[in-house]
Structure 1
Amino acid sequence: MGVGAPARGRRWRLTGRGWTLLVAGAGLLGAWAVTHRAELLFLGALAVLLPVAGVLFTLRPASGAEPSRRLNTRHGAPFVGVEALLVHPDDGADWFDTFPEEWVVDRVGDRVSALPVHRGVVVLGPVVRVDVDPFGTVGVRSEHGRSTEFVVWPEVIPGARVPSARFHSEPGRRFRAGSGQDEVGVREYRAGDPLRQVHWKQTAHRDELMVRETNAEQRVRLRLFLVVPAATADREAEEAVALVASVADESLASGVDVEIHLGTAVPTFSAAERSGMLTALARLDVRAGIMPTARLRADDVCVTTADPDGLPGAGVTVLAVAHADAAVRVEHVAGGNVIVTGPDADSVVDALGTTP
């Protein structure tokens, strides 16, 4: 992506050397006014005129050469994201891109490459050029190009298949005369569902609003929950997000829709919406904590950094990210829950391969 555009916002500033010369020059001229010694006048005038000459030098038009920035998609450890590469002209100026401090930045000659180290959304640009006069007394800063939003997807660990999960496609098929569709089951109400589809008997039985699901809309779907208490450390929270991304990605690759419960937000993604799923997780803010608003039920998958024994529900597969020194273990507990615990997303995915 090119960033070549007219320079804007040129701002001048004196360097430390420039201020030193000005102050020294003013002092020498003051001393000359008292002593009338010619050498003081000469040195004082020279010290003052050098920064003035520096300003005049930097007033000249900058070279027509412009930098270019390329955003390259990267796939691999320790993240799935992008790389930014800035190539600038070797014209004596200093060129800077606005990379976040935690990025890995490598400067070689006229090339600056940078790699993000974790998921998120940052804004890069504009590219900044700094020219300094030959005496090093005055610097001028100018901006080139526009800002660019930079989305870094979370890490996706291959093979994150949950063997014990059963996908929701409710049985109990029956035909409603005159509807033109088969009713194949019920599901939780989602915003936008018409009220005529509400299944009042199931709503009263389950104590939550349920709607009829027809064969025209039904697809197998995995319900995937993320539970991150507010006090969770950044490391554990990011590992949990990577685990959600990995399980969702594996399910989408198998042709299974994924319904991800992220607190009050419950987006559903199909196999064709993989990039949308990863982008949604890249933008997810977990700092305030994420707690479920829907009830966990059998065959759901829950990724959590909380105590897995304290989660409600039966027949749930719980993938728990614990502290860095935690042992990897797989437990089958009362109620039919399966709990897989590990210190990071990679260890949990490895343990899933041994889960029946």
Structure 2
Amino acid sequence: MSPRAARRDLGRRLLGPLSRLTTRGRAVLAAGLTCALCAVVLGQQDLLRVGVLLALVPVITVLVLGRARYRLACARSISPVRVEVGKPAQVVLEIANVSSTRCGMVLAEEQVPYTLGSRPRFVLPGLESGERRAVSYPVRSDVRGRFLVGPLSLTLTDPFGMGEHRRSFTARDQLIVIPKVAALPPVQLPGDWSGSGDSRPRAVSASGEDDVTTREYRQGDDLRRVHWRSTARRGELMVRREEQPWQSRATLLLDRRRAAHRGDGPESSFEWAVSAIASVAVHLASRGYAVRLVDGTEGQESANPWAHIASSGGESTSSAVLDTLSSVAPGGGIELQRAVHAAARAATGGLVVAALGEIDEQDTAMLASLHQAGTNCVALVADTASVINDAALFTQVRERTLAQVEQLRAAGWDVVPARGREPLEQTWRRIGSGRSLGGVRR
């Protein structure tokens, strides 16, 4: 080590403890040094004793504080971990002194994203050995997303408030802010109870093992069900037939093209579409549907189309969809094409519900291909024209949207355009009416 580096290292070691001084400690140290200097100049021994005493108190304090072996533990819990936009969640911090000595006053400071609110700070009195203290604070976000809460930093001070010592934790917890979910009313949906399951049980002893217990492989079947003897005999991949309850399936298609939506922030048509898909997912899952979300994410076409099967009540399915929607963002111009391709692979019978923005003739032709035998399609169309201030552009967008709505209806879709700022519940209630078209009764 060079002499200059050695001097720098020595300086850091000597001055390092002084960096723990608080403003009060620095003031007392400066007062003591000033008194000592004045005592030397004036030749006053009593004043010198006072100055030395004042200077030694903060120095000894930070030395003792730095050598103390404080051990603090922290546990954090967020309730609920999944919360809707605009609703609060509660964060609870439990701080424990697991050392054998008492620690002084503790300043706790939590790191949170600015979206969740201001940075919380707490002052805790001294903690006895083994003592635990719990503090809580609320967080709230007006935008969707996944936010990391933490880490927590603790600052310990001495009883005189002259020195401080910082301890930091690394643990962080995630808060998921999901879109607004509307309580949709029950309506008669097309395609109920069409989807998965082998509905025709037959006795093995009556027809033979290969004929009764096997069938052709379908996209999404578990490869562990492959029946190799039947596969070798028939020359095509066969799987074992398993008796399952006949379950409805619904494919939820989100149009997340940036060019297809208008407006900014929570009032934009894109956020309306996201909230619509979230509400439909919760509604259908509660009715026993197995739901699948397609939004044009790359690689989604090859994914297992029924990776999330509804449980009793559908909590697991809806939670998976809501978690995905919490971080979905507008994309480019190819996302709708990808979503339609993924939906075509997944929607082999059952229900397709699409939340769309502005569509053109090419988009209508792609969507029309989803309406096949055994597949029923419903489209919720966002009102993108309501945010336009220019009258001529407003009329142009409205007429173009209504024309594409008519074409999509002619292709067999049940299309329900949103009417301005009407609640989503009212839009959903018009499914199957076949009379509503952009606020005009036909």
Give the TM-score taking structure 2 as reference length. 0.54
Instruction: Assess if the C-alpha contact under 8 Å between 1:320 and 1:342 holds in 2.
Output: yes
Which residue in 2 is equivalent to 1:37?
41
Q: Using the alignment, how far apart are the partners of 2:80 and 2:253 within structure 1?
A: 28
Equivalent residue, structure 2, for 1:202: none
Gaps of 5+ in 1: 1-10, 198-210
Which deviates further from its counterpart, 300-309 or 246-255? 300-309
1:246 to 263, 276, 279: 279
Tell me: CA distance 1:53–1:247, structure 2 relative to 1, closer, same or farther (3 Å): same
Q: Which of 89, 92, 98 is the equivalent residue of 2:111?
A: 98
Does the CA contact (< 8 Å) of 1:128 and 1:142 recur in 2?
yes
Whole-angstrom CA distance in 1 between matches of 2:72 and 2:257: 51
Kindly provide the amino acid, as one letter, of the partner of residue 329 in structure 2: R
Alignment partner, residue 313 of structure 1: 367
Asked if the contact 1:25/1:46 (under 8 Å) is kept, the reply is: no
* Inter-CA distance 160–104: structure 2 relative to 1 (3 Å threshold): farther
Q: 5 Å matches for 1:321-336?
A: 321-322=382-383, 325-326=386-387, 333-336=409-412
Q: Does 1:302 align with 2:358?
A: no
Bigger strand share: 1
Q: Does 1:130 align with 2:131?
A: no
Q: Provide, for residues 4-54 of structure 1, a one-character-per-residue CA deviation record: whole Å limited to 9, x for no partner.
A: xxxxxxx9954673797599689979x969xx7359996997886565344
Equivalent position of 2:310 in the other structure: 270
Structure 1 residue 245 displacement after superposition: 2.3
Cα gap change, 1:300 to 1:214, in 2 (>3 Å): farther
Of structures 1 and 2, the one scoring higher in RCO (CA 8 A, sep 6+) is 1
Q: Distance in 2 between matches of 1:102 and 1:27?
A: 47
1:70-85 paired onto structure 2 within 5 Å: 70-73=77-80, 78=85, 82-85=89-92
- Residue aligning to 1:17: 23
For the structure 1 residues 340 and 317, does the alpha-carbon distance in structure 2 shift closer, same or farther, using more than 3 Å as the test?
same
Please say if residues 108 and 122 of structure 2, whose CA atoms lie closer than 8 Å, have aligned partners that are also in contact.
no
Deviation of 1:189 (Å): 2.3
SS state at 1:250 partner: helix
Shift of residue 142, structure 1, vs aligned partner:
1.2
1:113 is matched by which residue type in structure 2? Answer: Y
How many residue pairs get aligned? The number is 330
Q: Distance in 2 between matches of 1:187 and 1:308?
A: 37
Assess, with a 3 A threshold, how the Cα gap between structure 1 residues 12 and 126 changes in structure 2: closer, same or farther.
farther
Report 1:104-115 matches (<5 A).
104=117, 111-115=135-139
Provide the rounded CA distance (Å) in 2 between the counterparts of 1:252 and 1:230.
28
Q: Residues 354, 139 of structure 1: CA spacing in aligned structure 2 closer, same or farther, 3 A cutoff?
A: same
CA RMSD of aligned residues (A): 5.5
| 15 and 55 in structure 1: CA distance in 2 versus 1, 3 angstrom threshold | closer
Using the alignment, how far apart are the partners of 1:350 and 1:282 within structure 2? Answer: 25
Q: Distance in 1 between matches of 2:57 and 2:154?
A: 22
The residue that corresponds to 1:225 in the other structure is 253
Alignment pair present for 1:353 and 2:420: no
**Structure with greater Cα Rg:** 2
Query: What is the rounded CA distance, in whole Å, between the counterparts of 2:157 and 2:122 in structure 1?
Result: 21
Matched position secondary structure for 1:240: helix
Tell me how far apart the structure 1 counterparts of residues 353 and 83 of structure 2 sit (CA, whole Å).
25
Q: Give the SS at the match of 1:300.
A: strand
Report the secondary structure of 2:182's partner residue.
Answer: coil
Q: In structure 2, what is the Cα distance between the partners aligned to 1:24 and 1:108?
A: 29
Partner-residue secondary structure (3-state), 1:244: helix
CA contact (8 A) 2:107 2:122 kept: no
Q: Please give the secondary structure, in 1, of the residue aligned with 2:90.
A: strand
